[in-house]
Amino acid sequence: MIYNLDKINEMAEGDEEFITSVISVFLEEVPEDLDSLEKAIHSKDYENIYKLAHKIKPNVDILGMEQTRAKALEIETLGKTTGSMQEIEATFPILKKDVLQVVTELKNDFNL
């Protein structure tokens, strides 16, 4: 398991509906953002690379996915500074793998 619900549990203060809501939003939005990010990388669209990585970052952070957050931050920074596209292309598969793994785990763990 590469996610951790400590931050959500702290915010929720026992509200199970809140937890399920946050996870549902993650499952709806992040895979779409990931697909858009992949397209932006293929088209070398630095502005959208930056924006999409920036959008993904807090979503993985709230699930305690520190390594994934670090990868999103790396891509965000490279997108903002029009850094090395090779680095972006090398980092993205790690981000994608982690997000897709967590999507599968969350669907199983929460029966969504």
Could you read off the pLDDT of 76-112 as tens digits, one per residue? 999 999 999 999 999 999 999 999 999 999 999 999 8
**Contact, 45 vs 80, CB < 8 A?**
no
| pLDDT beyond 80 at 74 | yes
Q: How many CB atoms lie within 10 A of CB 68?
A: 25
| pLDDT beyond 80 at 1 | no
pTM of the predicted model, to two decimals?
Answer: 0.93
Domain CATH for 10:
1.20.120
Query: Quick one: pLDDT at residue 112?
Result: 87
Query: Quick one: pLDDT at residue 86?
Result: 97
- Answer yes or no: is 95 within a domain: yes
Indicate the DSSP class of residue 100.
Answer: H
Query: Quick one: pLDDT at residue 33?
Result: 98
- Answer yes or no: is 49 within a domain: yes
- Answer yes or no: is 1 within a domain: no
Spatial separation of the C-alpha atoms in residues 59 and 31, rounded to whole Å:
11
61: domain range?
Answer: 6-110
Q: Max CA-CA distance within the chain?
A: 44
Range 12-29 average pLDDT:
94
